[in-house]
Amino acid sequence: MATSPLDAPRRALQPSFDPAFRADVLRGLAGPAKSIPARWLYDETGSEIFEAITQAPEYYPTRTETSLLQAHSADVVRQSGADAPVVEFGSGSSLKTRILLEHMPKTTYVPIDICGEFMDAACAELGARFPGLEILPVEGDFMQEVPLPSCVKSSDGASPEALGFFPGSTIGNLLHAEAIDMLRAMRRTLGEGAWLLIGMDRTKEPDRLIAAYDDALGVTARFNLNLLTRINRELDGSIPLDGFRHLALWNDERSRIEMHLEALRDVRFEVAGTPFTMDHGETIHTENCHKYTPQGMEGLLAAGGWATQCHWSDADGDYSLLLARAHDHARG
Ligand SMILES: C[S@@+](CC[C@H](N)C(=O)[O-])C[C@H]1O[C@@H](n2cnc3c(N)ncnc32)[C@H](O)[C@@H]1O
């Protein structure tokens, strides 16, 4: 039975004035090395700007991953089964999911995202496109085990094994230890025997990476700077928006792109009644995007409890799509 996203059961997260956001921002701005977790980049505006980033000519990951999904989704579904419930972590626009769902249009789809407004709009579009699909959105944080609707994960093991979907190299936003914890939480969320289809970006020449995260039209800059607008709006901040610029740096030692907001002059501001000062040139670290070797990806998945079954890449070796299975059920 098709379910309207608006009727579907939802776990409530916090209201728009989120105490966790306030705590992360106040803690992150207090120390000498300032940083704010990347998840807060995704309010409704941030999610919309992220979609625009995926269209930027320099941003190769979305195009490459989309081609890989077009080439290999049928094979994925042959292995998982067309009735496997699809559980997507950080679903955003759910645009790539459409490619997978073409092969399983009557299954159950559980998108999980921290930005509920954007997810609702994406689910409405998906419901219109796949009328036989049951859609059960969950607004929540994928860093923890997420309780799934009982029809997806029955306690008697009667429902088909789920197919987790984690595209966009979103895993790259996490530090190594966080990524392992997250993969383990995913395994608990999905249950024994589950499948995981994950997209991960590969290491490549720093110039190409920096261009992808600092596009000529300034879309990524808008995405990053929107965090300051969000802080001002939701946390009663007075951060001067013209006092900062977007920076994308390659950290070779840690194999990652880092996004920062750099102060263009000495600045003073308040957030939620707390005063802060930053010196000219000081930065707020807002996102990491780790890049992996093919061996590194499979090693990370194994540490998180997932055995790689298939590993696909494009002809240029830019990006990987991997199908993994919870260890005990893995072949070999
Ligand atoms: C890089 S975007 C990827 C979007 C989409 N999956 C894609 O491949 O284009 C990351 C997505 O994860 C969501 N997200 C980030 N951190 C999250 C968290 N801790 N829990 C749930 N969703 C999160 C964001 O709201 C956003 O939709």
Q: What topology is assigned to 60-202+292-327 in CATH?
A: Rossmann fold (3.40.50)
pLDDT of residue 14: 40
**Kind and range of the H or E element at 181?**
helix 176-190
Interior CA angle at 112 toward 72 and 141, to 5°? 125
pLDDT of residue 159: 73
The list of the chain residues with pLDDT below 70 reads 1-16, 154-158, 329-332
Length of the chain: 332
- Ligand 1 contact via 39 beta carbon (within 6 Å): yes
Atom in ligand 1 nearest the alpha carbon of residue 88: 6
* Ligand 1, atom 8: closest residue by C-alpha: 168
pLDDT of residue 192: 87
40 Cα to the center of ligand 1, angstroms: 10
Q: Which tokens sit at 129?
A: 């496109």
- Ligand 1 contact via 243 beta carbon (within 6 Å): no
Whole-angstrom Cα distance, residue 310 to residue 107? 23
Q: Quick check: 28 and 36 in contact, CB under 8 A? A: yes
Atom in ligand 1 nearest the alpha carbon of residue 42: 25
pLDDT of residue 160: 82
* Ligand 1, atom 1: closest residue by C-alpha: 170
Helix (H, G, I), strand (E, B) or coil at 35: strand
* Ligand 1, atom 13: closest residue by C-alpha: 90
Whole-angstrom Cα distance, residue 261 to residue 211? 17
321 strand-pairing partners = 199, 312
Q: Quick check: 263 and 244 in contact, CB under 8 A? A: yes
| Domains in the chain: boundaries | 19-55+205-290, 60-202+292-327
* Ligand 1, atom 4: closest residue by C-alpha: 92
Residue 216 is classified by DSSP as: T
C-alpha dist (Å) from residue 86 to 70, 100, 106, 166, 290: 17, 9, 11, 10, 25
- Ligand 1 contact via 90 beta carbon (within 6 Å): yes
- Ligand 1 contact via 13 beta carbon (within 6 Å): no
* Ligand 1, atom 18: closest residue by C-alpha: 141
C-alpha dist (Å) from residue 243 to 106, 246, 275, 279, 282: 51, 11, 16, 11, 11
* Ligand 1, atom 11: closest residue by C-alpha: 90
Whole-angstrom Cα distance, residue 205 to residue 195? 32
Of the candidates 325, 331, 288, 284, the residue with the CA atom closest to the CA atom of residue 304: 325
